Amino acid sequence: MRLLTVAAMRRVDAAAIDGGVPGLALMEAAGAAVADRARARLPAGGRVVVLCGPGNNGGDGFVAARRLAEAGYAVDLFCLGEPSKLTGDAAHAAGTWTGPVRAADGAALPSCDLVIDALFGAGLSRDLDGAARALVEAVNAAGGPVLAVDVPSGVDGDTGAVRGSAIRAVETVTFVTFKPGHLLEPGRSLCGQLSLADIGTGPAALEAGLAACAPLYRNGPELWGRDFPRLTAASHKYTRGHALVLSGPATKTGAARLAARGALRVGAGLVTVASPAAAIAENAAHLTAIMLRPCESADDLDDLLTDERLNVILAGPGLGTGEPTRERVAVAAAAGRGLVLDADALTSFAGKAPLLAAHLADGDARAVLTPHAGEFARLFDGTDAMAEGADKVTRSRAAAALTGAVVVFKGADTVIAAPDGRAAINDHGSPYLGTAGSGDVLCGLIAGLLAQGMEPFAAAAAGVWLHGDAGLRHGPGLIAEDIPELMPAVLRDRVESTRG
């Protein structure tokens, strides 16, 4: 699913109105969708408090309030600011509300079954303060369920950032498509369940919105399913790619093995772990289908790469930081194969992002970098490309443009960005994935997909999603070793069944 920025969503609304759909009809449809979701959460005849703000988000609230009152619910409506100052469609919607309008400024809210938050949506233009902030904090302190209209008030629709203070909702109803702030943290967590309503803007208006912003997607099989490796009767292990995983020394081999198992389980035909000779026995004690080769240095790696069938190199987990790792990365990048760099391979270039970029450009590698927040900051903060205070999507895109690699900026809201500006936000995952070695498996999954010929952006997005799916289906007690073992079920249920 494509996501639209706040500005692009305005473009959709404007194009729909230009195309003959009255703005009031859009507001009526938006308010009706909110009322429907409220009814799903309310007991029959239940009590609802509707909080309306000074713009069209408030207008949606007035429509929802009217519809709920008509349906027999007890509705208390509070308006932030003077109702007489409402303009346009919002003023019209307020005019159709026949119940009392109470002042929200400083009011004690009655107890209720549900609060509808229609204070601020796409028009949030500054941090909440004064009466607005006090109201938001009072609603959160009361702790009852809140249904947010468009976005939880105080959440920035483009970045997911909290502007001063923000509503914590159990559900957010939004319109047409999601915005980045619905999927980026902390916005994602504050939204609660996400619901999407069609308000009749139509396909032409949507096209106008899509043309008004760079391609940004919610990560899912519809983004990469068509590119997912497909076996034919003629497939064999050499057509399914051969991934080479660089292992650390004898005391640091586990991370490479986790990555290697991820690559094999996701379908790579062959996987080899290359380690210092002293670590081979350790690796051999734990691996069976995965092959082992000695590799002490960048020169050894160069020799290994004379085997043209090694089409992907994965470097970083457990490798150690410093010059020897930088040399191996240089050799791996120059080989012009698929390349996944994680952990120590990234930290070895802390403050040296241009050097890494030069290596990657050297071999025109099909490269994917998988930093977590700390690795990302060490690598990219302070570079000219990184605007201070920018959101995660902007930062990821800048890092991808700088390095020419696909960047997987990991976290609860992992962002995948390509050098050509495509980006995706992943919200298909679980906090149980935050466990030792989980990231090693992720980069192995990506390497295994690259080995099978997926292009780097698709391989990265698919790897992140499959990893997330494993986390969702296992839950408590998940350890990194479980993730590769879950792949057969994940692939069968989620990929094979969805692509027909």
Ligand X SMILES: NC(=O)C1=CN([C@@H]2O[C@H](COP(=O)(O)OP(=O)(O)OC[C@H]3O[C@@H](n4cnc5c(N)ncnc54)[C@H](O)[C@@H]3O)[C@@H](O)[C@H]2O)[C@@H](O)CC1
Annotated binding site for K(+): 57, 117, 153
Q: Which is nearer to ligand X, 160 or 468 (CB)?
A: 160
Do 260 and 440 meet the contact criterion of CB atoms below 8 Å apart?
no
Angstrom distances, CA of residue 263 to CA of 243, 366, 474: 7, 16, 19
Question: Distance between CA atoms of 450 and 368, rounded to whole angstroms?
Answer: 9
- If contact means CB under 5 to 8 A according to the sort of partner, which of ligand X, K ion, none does residue 345 touch? none
User: Which helix (DSSP H) or strand (DSSP E) does residue 244 occupy?
Assistant: strand 242-246
Neighbours of 203 (CB within 10 A): 7
Per the annotation, binding residues for (6S)-NADPHX are: 56-60, 121-127, 150, 255, 318, 372, 440
* Torsion of the alpha carbons at 354, 357, 361 and 365, rounded to the nearest 10: 170
User: Beta strands 171-175 and 310-315: pairing type?
Assistant: unpaired
User: Which helix (DSSP H) or strand (DSSP E) does residue 79 occupy?
Assistant: strand 74-79
- If contact means CB under 5 to 8 A according to the sort of partner, which of K ion, ligand X, none does residue 175 touch? ligand X
Letter for the amino acid at 51?
L
Q: Which is nearer to ligand X, 174 or 452 (CB)?
A: 174
- Residue 103 pairs in a beta bridge with 79
Q: Which parts of this chain interact with K ion (CB under 5 A)?
A: 117, 121, 148-149, 153
| Site size with ligand X, rule: CB under 6 A | 27
List the end-to-end C-alpha distance of the chain, in Å, as a whole number. 19
List the one residue from 75, 124, 270, 450 that touches ligand X (CB under 6 A): 124
- If contact means CB under 5 to 8 A according to the sort of partner, which of ligand X, K ion, none does residue 375 touch? none
**Which segment (126-134, 135-143, 247-255, 398-406) binds ligand X by CB under 6 A?**
126-134
User: Which helix (DSSP H) or strand (DSSP E) does residue 416 occupy?
Assistant: strand 415-417
Sign, Cα dihedral of 125, 131, 137, 139: negative
- What does the per-residue mask of binding to ligand X show for 187-216, with x meaning CB under 6 A? ------------x-----------------
Q: Which is nearer to ligand X, 76 or 150 (CB)?
A: 150
**Which segment (47-55, 250-258, 359-367, 388-396) binds ligand X by CB under 6 A?**
47-55
Question: Distance between CA atoms of 427 and 66, rounded to whole angstroms?
Answer: 34
**Which segment (56-64, 362-370, 445-453, 485-493) binds ligand X by CB under 6 A?**
56-64
- If contact means CB under 5 to 8 A according to the sort of partner, which of ligand X, K ion, none does residue 153 touch? K ion
Residue 55 binds to ligand X (criterion: CB under 6 A)? yes
Query: Which residues would be at the binding site for ligand X (CB under 6 A)?
Result: 13, 23, 26-27, 30, 53-60, 120-128, 132, 149-150, 175, 199
